[in-house]
């Protein structure tokens, strides 16, 4: 696994004194992002097809947290927003608060 060439994103879930971490690492990291000239939020399908990124950092943090996602706070570093699919996933898992750290 290696770092995403476009954005290094870290999601941290905190709940009941426990911390869980998710990243946006790729199985096949690229020297240059295939989305290099695209705005953030566009071309995410290339993350999976070219870089073999399994999930976004937010989803990986939720998977790591398991049952601790219910009522948790997720802190997002390295990105300015959560995409719709991540928001939906976090809502389904029970994340209560999302804080984007700038």
- 52: domain CATH number is 3.40.140.10
How do residues 72-101 score in pLDDT, each as one tens digit?
A: 999 999 988 899 999 999 999 999 999 999
Domain-located, residue 72 = yes
Judged on CB neighbours under 10 Å (0-12, 13-18, 19+), 62 is buried
Lowest-confidence pick of 11-20, 32-41, 71-80, 89-98: 32-41
Mean pLDDT value across residues 10-34 = 96
Q: Which range of residues forms the domain containing residue 65?
A: 10-101
CB 49 within 8 A of CB 9: no
- The residue written with tokens 């911390």 in the block is 19
> Does 40 have pLDDT greater than 80?
no
Report the C-alpha gap between 23 and 17 in whole angstroms: 20
- Cβ neighbours of residue 37 under 8 Å, at least 6 residues apart? none
Domain-located, residue 1 = no
Domain-located, residue 76 = yes
Evaluate if pTM is beyond 0.85: yes
What tokens does 60 get?
């990986």
Per-chain mean pLDDT for the chain: 94
Domain-located, residue 21 = yes
Percent of the chain whose pLDDT exceeds 90: 76
Q: How many domains does the chain have?
A: 1
Domain-located, residue 3 = no
Domain-located, residue 5 = no
């Amino acid at each position: 696994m290696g770092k995403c060439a476009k954005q290094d994103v870290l999601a941290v879930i905190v709940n009941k004194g426990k911390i869980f971490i998710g990243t946006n690492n790729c199985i096949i990291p690229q020297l240059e992002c295939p989305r290099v000239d695209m705005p953030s939020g566009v071309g995410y399908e290339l993350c999976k097809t070219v870089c073999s990124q399994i999930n976004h950092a937010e989803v990986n943090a939720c998977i790591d947290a398991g049952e601790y996602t219910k009522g948790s706070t997720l802190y997002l570093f390295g990105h300015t927003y959560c995409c719709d699919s991540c928001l939906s996933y976090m809502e389904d898992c029970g994340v209560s608060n999302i804080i984007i750290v700038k």
